[in-house]
Amino acid sequence: KLAMSGVEEISDESVEVKEGEEFDVEAEDHLRDDFLLDPTRYIFYRDRKEWADLEPVPQDDGPNPVVKIAYSEKFSDVYDYFRALLKNDERSERAFALTSEAIELNAANYTVWHYRRVLLQALSKDLREEMRYITAIIEEQPKNYQVWHHRRMVVEWLNDPSEELEFIADILSQDAKNYHAWQHRQWVIQEYKLWDDELDFVENLLEEDVRNNSAWNQRHFVISHTSGFSDAMEREIQYCLYQIKKAPNNESAWNYLKGILQPLGLSAQPGLLERVLELKQTHCSPYLLAFLFDCYEDALENSKENVAEEEQQKTLKKALEICQLLAQEDTIRKEYWLFLGRSLKNKHGKLNNYTFELCVIHPELEII
Amino acid sequence: MGTQVKDVIIKPDAPSTLLLDKHADYIAAYGSKKDDYEYTLSEYLRMSGIYWGLTVMDLMGQLPRMNRQEIIDFIKACQHECGGISASIGHDPHLLYTLSAVQILCLYDSVDALDVDKVVEYIKGLQQEDGSFAGDKWGEIDTRFSFCAVATLALLGKMDTINVDKAVEFVLSCMNFDGGFGCRPGSESHAGQIYCCSGFLSLTGQLHQVNADLLGWWLCERQLPSGGLNGRPEKLPDVCYSWWVLASLKIIGRIHWIDKAKLRSFILACQDEETGGFADRPGDMVDPFHTLFGVAGLSLLGDEQIKPVNPVLCMPEDVLQRINLQPDLLS
C-alpha cells in the first residue's frame, strides 16, 4: 500500500481564487524555504516521488487541435495523472485517492465517477465511509446528476436506506425544490417501502411554502401509492380549499385539485361547484375561474338526458363569461382563453364565432 | 388578479434587436478565448457543446466558419468499442453524447464516419425490461434517455431495432396528473422532461396519447409577466425554456397559446451586446447552451433572419429534409 507524502490541501477555497495567489513563482520559492516548517503545503502530483512511475497524459483535444487551452496548473496536473491511471486501468489506493481530487475540481465529470465506482468494487472499499464522502459532496453541490446517482449506487450496494430520508430532508431544507433530491427521495421510498411518514413530511413542507410544486407532486405520489384517492377525496378537496384560502393565486394547489378530480369528472363531485362559487366571492384568481370553467365544461359534457336545453345554455353562458373575463385579465394567455370559449361554443352552443369574439373585444355591449 | 410572482424585470435599456453577427463571432471564437477555465470544466459534455455551437451557427447560416474535418475526426476518436460515443476523448460513452455526435454528423452529412451498426447495438443494449433506457452501463433511468435513444435511431433510420411499444409504455407511465411528464414515473412535471417526452412520442408516432389541451395549458402557464418562460411553477424564467416549452407547444400544436411578442422581447433581452451570445436571463453570463436555445426559440417564433428549426430534434429543417425525416406534429 503506497503512502502519499503529498498532503491534501486543507483549504476548500475554490481553485480559481488560488490561481492568482498560490502558484506564482516567487511564492513557490518562498514556500520551498519554509517547507520543513509547513508540511501542509500542496504538492503537485508531478513532484511526488511515489507517482514518478506514471507518465502523465496531457489533455487530448483531438487529432488537429486548433485551440491551445490554458488550464489552471493544479487542474492540469490532477487530470494528467487521472488520464494516466485510466489508460493503465490502474486499480489502486492512490488511484482512488486521486479520484477524490479530480471530483473536487470537477464533480460533473461522469468518467471520474465511473472510475471511482470501479475502484470501490475492485478494492473492496468501506462503503460506509463512501456514504460519508458522498454526503459531504452533495451538501456542497446538490444540483448535479452524477453525485446523486453515485449515492444511489452506494445505497443499493449497502442495501441500507436508513440515512436517506433525513439526508434528503436536509438538502431540501436548503432548496425545497431540488429536482434531483426529490427523484432520489421517490426512489428510496418506493424501493424500500418507506411510505409511513411521508404525507406528514409533505404537509410540513407545504406549511412552510404552500406554493412548492414539488411538494404537491409528492403529495400525489404518496397518496396514489398508498390509500388511493377514492376514500381520501373529501379530505383532499378540503385540504386544497384550505390552502387556496391561505394563498389564492397558487397554480400548484389548483392543478392538484383538478388533477385528483379529473378521473371521476369535476361535475361528479357533489357540492364542489357551490364551494368554489363561494370561494370566488372572497378569494378569486385566474385559477379559480379556470377551474369553474372546467366544472361547467364537465357539466355540459356529461349532462344527463333530462337536463333542459335552457339549463345547458345557462351553463354555457356562464362558462363563456369566464373566458371573456380571463381573456381581458390574463392577456398573456388571451389566445388560450379565446380557444376555450370557441371550442365550448362549437360543441354546445348556438352563438357563432364572430359573436363570441365581439363579446371579448366589446364587453360593454353585453352580448352574452 | 396580479400577485407577487417570481419573475425578472427587464430594464428599459436591455437589447431589443437581434444581434446575429455578434452571436456568430462569439461561437466561432468559443474555446480559443483567454479565460478557458469554463471550457476545461465543461470537457465532460464537449460533444454536446459542439452540437450546440454548430447547430446555432447553421441556423444563422454560418456553419462554414467551423472546422468540419477536425470535428469529424474528433467524433471518430470518441466512438468506443461498445459502439457508444463519449463526450470527449478519454471519457466513457453515454447516450447523451451519442445523440449529440449523430446530430453533428447529420449536419455535416457524414454519418458514415461512425460504425452505425455498433451505435445501434449500444443503444439497443441500454433498453431495460420495462421499456426505459439507461444513460450508460451504470443504469441511471430518465425519460431524457428515452428521447436520446429514439432520436438517434430515427436519424440513423434504425428505429425498428428496439422494442418501441415497451419504450412508449414506459414514457406514458411518466405522464402526470397535470398532463406533464417527469424523468421517471411519479417525478414532478418539468419542461425539459416534457420536451423529451413530446419529442419521443412524436418520433414514435404516438402524439395522440398526449392530452394536448391539458398539457398545452400547463405549458402556456410557464409564461410570466416579463414574457419569459419558466420550467415549472414558481420558478424564475430562463431562456432555455424558450426552447423546451416552445418546442413542446409546437409539437402538440398549441404554440399560439404563448404571447409571442412578449417572449421575443424577453429572449432578445437575454443577449449580451458586448460579447455576443445569450444568457439564461438578462444581465447574466452568456454560454453556448443558452445561445442555441435563444436563437432556436426565435426561429420557432418565426424570425425570418434565422433558418427554420425542427421542434422535435432541434436541428435545421433543411438538414432533416435532406435525410427525409419529418416527425409528426399535432395541429
Averaged pLDDT, A334-353: 84
Complete DSSP assignment for A105-139: H-TT-HHHHHHHHHHHHHTT--HHHHHHHHHHHHH
Q: Provide the pLDDT confidence category of residue A347 given band limits of 50, 70 and 90.
A: confident
Helix (H) / strand (E) containing B287: strand B286-287
Residue A356 has pLDDT above 80, yes or no: no
Query: Of B38 and A117, which is predicted with more confidence?
Result: A117
Closest Cβ opposite residue B73 in set A63, A177, A333? A63
**Which residues make beta-bridge pairs with B271?**
B278
Minimal CA separation from B81 to chain A, in Å = 15
A183: nearest CA partner in chain B: B187
Chain B partners within 8 Å of A116 (Cβ): none
Reported as a single tens digit per residue, the pLDDT across A33-60 is: 444 455 567 788 988 989 999 999 887 7
SS3 A304: coil
Closest Cβ opposite residue A62 in set B32, B36, B70? B70
Residue B254's contacts (CB-CB under 8 Å, 6 or more residues apart) are B212, B213, B216, B219, B220, B330
Helix extents (H) in B93-237? 95-107, 116-125, 143-156, 164-172, 191-203, 212-220
Q: Provide the pLDDT confidence category of residue A307 given band limits of 50, 70 and 90.
A: confident
User: Which percentage of chain A shows pLDDT scores above 70?
Assistant: 80
Residue A338 has pLDDT above 60, yes or no: yes
Cell numbers found for residue A335? 389566445
Give the residue among A269, A251, A248 at the shortest CA–CA distance from A260. Answer: A269
SS3 B131: coil
Distances (CA, A) of B64 to A62, B30, B67, B99: 19, 15, 8, 22
Residue A140 has pLDDT above 50, yes or no: yes
A301 touches B: beta carbon within 8 Å:
no
Give pLDDT, residue A301.
87
What is d(CA A351, CA A202) in angstroms, rounded to the nearest whole number?
46
A256 touches B: beta carbon within 8 Å:
yes
- Which of A18, A74, A87, A143 is the catalytic position? A143
Q: Determine whether the interchain pair B86/A111 forms a contact, defined as Cβ–Cβ distance below 8 Å.
A: yes
Reduce the secondary structure of B47-81 to three states and give it as a string. HHHHHHHHHHHHHCCCHHHCCHHHHHHHHHHHECC
Lowest mean pLDDT of A25-34, A240-249, B37-46, name the range.
Answer: A25-34
What is d(CA B221, CA A330) in angstroms, rounded to the nearest whole number?
10
Distances (CA, A) of A27 to A23, A31, A35, B148, B149: 7, 6, 12, 49, 52
Whether the Cβ atoms of residue A56 and residue A81 lie closer than 8 Å to each other: yes
Residue A160 has pLDDT above 50, yes or no: yes
Whether the Cβ atoms of residue B307 and residue B61 lie closer than 8 Å to each other: yes
Helix extents (H) in B126-185? 143-156, 164-172
Whether the Cβ atoms of residue B276 and residue B62 lie closer than 8 Å to each other: no
B67: nearest CA partner in chain A: A66
Our answer to whether residue A143 is catalytic in this structure is yes
Minimal CA separation from B324 to chain A, in Å = 31
Complete DSSP assignment for B296-317: HHHHHTT-TTS--B-TTT-SBH
With a CB-CB cutoff of 8 Å, which residues 336-365 of chain A face chain B? Answer: 336, 339
Chain A partners within 8 Å of B31 (Cβ): 67, 69
With a CB-CB cutoff of 8 Å, which residues 17-56 of chain A face chain B? Answer: none
Minimal CA separation from A110 to chain B, in Å = 7
What does the mean pLDDT of chain A come to? 85
**pLDDT under 70: residue ranges of chain B:** 1-4, 31-36
A210: nearest CA partner in chain B: B234
Q: Determine whether the interchain pair A331/B259 forms a contact, defined as Cβ–Cβ distance below 8 Å.
A: yes
Whether the Cβ atoms of residue A75 and residue A112 lie closer than 8 Å to each other: no
Q: Determine whether the interchain pair B92/A60 forms a contact, defined as Cβ–Cβ distance below 8 Å.
A: no
Give the residue among B183, B175, B164, B167 at the shortest CA–CA distance from B209. Answer: B175
Whether the Cβ atoms of residue A50 and residue A3 lie closer than 8 Å to each other: yes
Averaged pLDDT, A107-118: 94
pTM for the whole structure: 0.88
Averaged pLDDT, A9-30: 36
What does the mean pLDDT of chain B come to? 95
What is d(CA A84, CA A364) in angstroms, rounded to the nearest whole number?
78
Lowest mean pLDDT of A74-83, A286-295, B313-322, name the range.
Answer: A74-83
The two most distant CA atoms of chain B are separated, in Å, by: 59
Whether the Cβ atoms of residue B205 and residue B325 lie closer than 8 Å to each other: no
A·B CB contacts under 8 A:
156
B92: nearest CA partner in chain A: A111
What is d(CA B125, CA A322) in angstroms, rounded to the nearest whole number?
52
Reported as a single tens digit per residue, the pLDDT across B182-215 is: 999 999 999 999 999 999 999 999 999 999 999 9
What is d(CA A217, CA A251) in angstroms, rounded to the nearest whole number?
12
Give the residue among A283, A190, A197, A281 at the shortest CA–CA distance from A240. Answer: A283
Residue A66 has pLDDT above 70, yes or no: no
Residue A71 has pLDDT above 90, yes or no: no
Give pLDDT, residue A135.
98
Query: Of A308 and A335, which is predicted with more confidence?
Result: A335
Closest Cβ opposite residue A66 in set B41, B43, B67? B67
**Which residues make beta-bridge pairs with B156?**
none
Chain A partners within 8 Å of B331 (Cβ): none
Q: Determine whether the interchain pair A213/B256 forms a contact, defined as Cβ–Cβ distance below 8 Å.
A: no
Q: Determine whether the interchain pair B233/A252 forms a contact, defined as Cβ–Cβ distance below 8 Å.
A: yes
Whether the Cβ atoms of residue B45 and residue B78 lie closer than 8 Å to each other: no
What is d(CA A25, CA A31) in angstroms, rounded to the nearest whole number?
10
Chain A partners within 8 Å of B49 (Cβ): none
Closest Cβ opposite residue A108 in set B31, B44, B233? B44
Reported as a single tens digit per residue, the pLDDT across B210-265 is: 999 999 999 999 999 999 999 999 999 999 998 999 999 999 999 999 999 999 99
Cell numbers found for residue A295? 366544472
Give the gyration radius of chain A's Cα atoms: 31
Cell numbers found for residue A54? 506514471
A69 touches B: beta carbon within 8 Å:
yes
Q: Determine whether the interchain pair B70/A186 forms a contact, defined as Cβ–Cβ distance below 8 Å.
A: no
Whether the Cβ atoms of residue A250 and residue A258 lie closer than 8 Å to each other: no
Phi, psi (rounded to 5 degrees) for B2: -70, 150
Q: Determine whether the interchain pair B234/A212 forms a contact, defined as Cβ–Cβ distance below 8 Å.
A: yes
Residue A345's contacts (CB-CB under 8 Å, 6 or more residues apart) are A316, A320, A351, A353, A356
